[in-house]
Structure 1
Amino acid sequence: MTVIDPQRNLDLQGGVLAESLSLMEALSPIGSMHESSAPAELAGLHKTFELFGQMSQQLSQSYLMLEDRVKHLSSQLEKQTAERLKELAEKEQLAERLSSLLDLLPGGVVVINEDGLIEQCNPAARELLDAFSGELVGSRWVDVIRSCFRPRQDDGHEVSTVGGSRLSISTRSLENQPGQIVLLTDQTETRHLQEEVSRNERLSAMGKMVASLAHQIRTPLSAAMLFGGHLKNPGLEDTKRVAIAQRLMSRLSHLEQQVRDMLIFAKGDLKTAELIQVREFCLSLQDAITAHDWPETVDVELRNQCPEEAFYCNSEALVGAVLNLVENAAQATSHKISVQISLTQSRDKAWFICSVKDDGPGMNKKTLSKVMEPFFTTKSQGTGLGLAVVKAVVSAHGGEFTLASEEGDGTEAILKIPLVQLTSAEIEGVE
């Protein structure tokens, strides 16, 4: 935008005034013409009129320049005015568009000022907060929260409303001004869909579990029935009767282990209120290893290096978890395999550590990454629940379960369970 310079106009007016004074001074000798000669008077008068003509011409030129300047400034002013009007119209259109988008948003938008009062909200927010009896705009946001929300224990990342809806709430500070903007999203349908998916996943897992259980029970059950049929033979020799009875008990023990694993996986909860010493757990584990019918190719060694320490556990479940690990090692190869079970404690004496290490074929990285998933197995007769059950048992004890393996270099499973620091009197009470 061009601005007229006031100082320039004053200079122009001053020049015109000075030239006018010069003209008056030039005309002043006319009054005293009688004192001069006629030729001199005519020459002076002629010169005066020439000066007057020059001044008139200069005034005309200055006026024309001023007129052109005014036209130019008027044109620029009209142009800038048109641009400003166009910009204003575009801003109004943008404001209307943003207002329409705000009204059409599926989520609720609430703008809160620095005093905690609602300055603006869209129709979706009014619908989600319909439990509030008054007008939202101008009300305190704290009052709206008290009237519309009823938190529940299972809310998670959402908040329940009085009407039973689940809303997710996110806030953000306004830029360059005090206040906040609150975004409300209705997650009710999403939560229902998540619950439906979770229910379907549980049903699917249950179906796999039932199918696996039926498949796994059928084989040892058939063998047990076969051995039981042999025992009915009255002419069976005593030595053969004892051998068949041992095989029958082995199959029944296998059946019991399968059912126990399924129950642990299905229930998920395990009581670990029994306080025992590591020595006592070691004896129970040794008895279970001795009673188990291992193949001749399997050599199991048990070492206890922290007999006096104590921990809370479910002895039966924990012994079964360790036997699962030994059974996995035994089934990994048909060749001779050595399994070492070491019972130790961490350096800070805070953890009981049970290490089950074998010198079998090991696993590759791909198998190792999936081996703890339920129902994943590399065996034709496996349930895929062995390691999943071990992990569940250790987790129920508040511990950690890790597995390390390299193809061709064996596998090591480590169970870590927190120890309990006892006094001498308490140790005697445990014994």
Structure 2
Amino acid sequence: MTTSKRTRPQRGTDRRLQLIDAATVLFAERGYPYVSVADIARKAGVSTPTLYRHFADKGSLLLAAVQKTVDDLEASTDAAALESSANPAEALAVSITRLSISSPHATSLWRWSGQHLSADDNAEVVRRTRSVLRQWASAIRANRTDLTERESMYLAGAALSVVGSGAGRVVRQNPRNAEATLVELVRRSITLSPDQATVPSPIHHLDDEEPTRRDEILDAAARLFADHGFAGTGMDEIGAAVGITGPSVYKHFASKIAILIGISQRSALRLEAGALAAYAATADPSRRLDALVDHYVDTVTSSPDLLVGFNSAFALVAEPQAAELLAAQRRYVARWITLLTEVNTAASAAGATNTGSRESAVLAVHAALAIVNDAVRLPRSTPRPEFAARMAYLMKGVMGV
């Protein structure tokens, strides 16, 4: 009888963690609005009533999942003993790489969760996460007199993006040499010098005609989706932002999904135009990749379209156009991977210490894209005049080009 009383709390704790883990995976794979309580219970192998004995609703599960990811970040940072290490930056690189591999979502769930948490809960998550990043920044500049506190925070954020880019999941699927590559990517990111960033070459956009009502709707919807999420925005709000009624929006778009598709198609066309311009301008892989980075940073910082497409991709899963949008995105990223593989192979042939494998290029490209995609989610950063230059510099730096 005594044994039963002792084990019951432990079983309750285990079940709670089981539910949090199941919710974390589903939220990451499908997006919070598209996961039901029943889905989470099924994933955890329990009944829905059992889930409700531990959590009041889906929102409380999300909060618990996000809090656990921050717990993991804090625990990993504490375990690394950065302050007492002879080489704090190296201890940090190893520690967060291991965390990314053992708990991939611990470094990525924060990206989109804020819009689904209450203001107070989100503020607390941000406060705790920034506290961890300040510890990382302190470790990064421990043996470097060239870095300011702000610059070291840029590098800490870049390191978080590198390990949260999905690289940890790739390493788990293909561990051979990949863990060493991921550690090296983190090392690259934290040894950069943001003050060396130079302003990217100006991007010449095609001069469009006067925006149509359709363009105005897409622009307004993109801003609203970025601020409130796709699920949290209604057609009436989109119409009001343009100065028309909600029903009038239907004269231009059959549904809210059609608007999201239009936003995604517009950003895909812009990226494709940038890629074609880069390839037409030069045959040199390094210069082509350099141009792609500059154009990508310009695209993602000058309009919310691209970020909205990423954040709302879950809503398009069942749409016929989703397959082509995904294929276009993969073709675009594949260009980067091919170019970086060519650059690395040429460097290796010239005697440089570099890995020219396609696998290492895949990790590096996704890490580089994550750096700017994550940073633009933080609205306090993008208005800074040096932001675009530093993003392009960090992206090129983590790819080693």
- Class of the TM-score when normalised by the shorter of the 2 chains: under 0.3
Higher helix share: 2
| Higher strand fraction (1 or 2) | 1
TM-score normalised to structure 1 length:
0.20
